[in-house]
Amino acid sequence: MLTYMDYVQNAFFQATSWNPDNSYVNLTATARALLDFPTPRGLKMNISSLSTPKFGTSYALGNLGVVDGSVSYLYSSLPLHNVRRSAEVDLHDVTTGYRQLAELRPPDDERFWEVWKGGLRVDGRNALLFGRMYLPTSTLEALYLRRVKPTTQFRITAVSDGRLKSGGTIMAMMQHDFGKWSGEYLYSTDGALIGARGLYNFGRDPRKQPNPPPRTSDEKAIGRFSMGAEFYYGILNKSAGMSTALRYTTLPTHPNAPTTMTLTLTPLMGSMSATYAIKAGDAAAFCSRFDFNMYSYESDLSLGCEIWRREDVEKEDFAGVLKARVSQTSGIGLLWEGRLKHLLFSVGAAIDLRRKDQLVRAVGLELQYSS
């Protein structure tokens, strides 16, 4: 389940018309959500509040051998009226699962962002600031996010921790999204790392209106084929890496069950990963993944699913979701996420069948309350 601050950050993306799905880093988001979901460890409680539409706080307390926690603050220059309390939030907004991609939309006209007063342009650029301190380690995390243009977003993330080699690290990233394609350029002080990522969507360019426009659903696109790649290089340690990936996904206009297929290649490491996910109705999704390394000939097969439970047969609201996965290397994972009165909860377990002395690796319960 997403943390409250991640949920608020997604609300900021929605309010500023930014599409995080149109990014290379989220090309395999569906498979990761169904096969790599984390399971809680120990007991954890989160209490959060958006005291004003621009300012939010969150407090977390955990008990895993020792008592620890965190304190988080968030500020948005844009009022976030689309944030809901834990008692009324749509569970699909706070959980990860099958990602049904929508039609690509053209970027906003930059003229619509202009605000004039007395003959002077007074508009600013929307920004989001986030900070978190972990206790008792006093580790600090920070995020600065700024919408520069309708097609551009700038973000800086930083971590301060005395256990790190240089006491902390900073990463700056410039993101572009033109609908038809997107790109990201980053620099990290950790090893003086530089990198670039890109994603290209085949088919119609959303910035160009077709002439004549499609009149029926038969004339509209029913699927999208995307291709992307990333490259990074560490200047200090003189090491490089790259990967490339393909994705085909059906769109809402497709008459059959939503389907997503991906193929990821990492040439330098010799690894290949192929995934297939399908959504069976509106209450279930299934996913499989096959990993293979061309150098060591090692392979792994993973299977996962999510099944939603309705509050009532006659109602469309969902009360929770059960996730399960099984893998040759990581074992079995079970997770139940839902809502009980005003509380959001996640309870799960990780099981390793290869270790007879300790089958259950982790069991946990996480509770969230927000007002």
pLDDT band at 123 (very low <50, low <70, confident <90, very high): low
- Which residues face 245 on adjacent strands? 228, 264
Provide CB contacts within 8 A for 10, sequence distance 6+.
2, 20, 93
Question: Over 50: is that where the pLDDT of 49 sits?
Answer: yes
Cis, bond preceding 255 (omega within 30 deg of 0)? no
Q: What is the pLDDT of residue 219?
A: 44
pLDDT of 316: 63
Task: Output the average pLDDT for the chain.
Answer: 90
204 pLDDT tier (thresholds 50, 70, 90): confident
pLDDT value at position 122? 61
- The parent domain of residue 317 ranges over 4-370
The yes-or-no verdict on residue 331 having pLDDT over 70 is yes
What is the rounded distance in angstroms from the CA atom of residue 249 to the CA atom of residue 371? 36
| 94-103, 116-125, 140-149: the lowest-pLDDT one | 116-125
Average pLDDT over residues 271-295: 95
Task: Please determine, for residue 304, whether its predicted confidence score (pLDDT) is greater than 90.
Answer: yes
In percent, how much of the chain has pLDDT > 90?
68
pLDDT on residue 95 = 93
Mean pLDDT of 67-90: 92
Higher pLDDT, 94 or 312: 94
Mean pLDDT calculated for residue range 191-213? 83
pLDDT band at 157 (very low <50, low <70, confident <90, very high): very high
Q: How far apart are CA 312 and CA 315, in angstroms?
A: 5
Determine the distance from the C-alpha atom of residue 328 to the mean position of all C-alpha atoms in its chain, rounded to a whole number: 25
Reported as a pLDDT band with limits 50, 70 and 90, residue 357 is: confident
Determine if residue 191 is left, alpha or beta; phi over 0 gives left, psi from -120 to 50 gives alpha, anything else beta. Answer: left
For the chain, what is the domain count? Answer: 1
Task: Give the pLDDT band of residue 117 (cuts 50, 70, 90).
Answer: confident
Q: Is the per-residue pLDDT at 175 higher than 50?
A: yes
| pLDDT at residue 294, as a whole number | 93
Lowest-confidence pick of 8-12, 66-70, 182-186, 240-244: 66-70
**40-66: average pLDDT:** 91
230, 268 contact by CB (below 8 A)? no
The letter for the amino acid at 218 is: D
Q: What is the mean pLDDT of residues 311-321?
A: 74
3-state secondary structure of 34: helix
- What is the arithmetic mean of pLDDT over 244-255? 92
Nearby residues of 53 by Cβ (< 8 Å), 6 or more positions away: 76, 79, 80, 81, 83
Confidence of residue 322 (pLDDT cuts 50, 70, 90): very high
Burial of 130 (0-12, 13-18, 19+ CB in 10 A): buried
Which amino acid would we find at residue 357?
D
List the structure tokens of 259. 């389907």
Output the domain CATH number for residue 46.
2.40.160.10
pLDDT at residue 248 in the model? 96
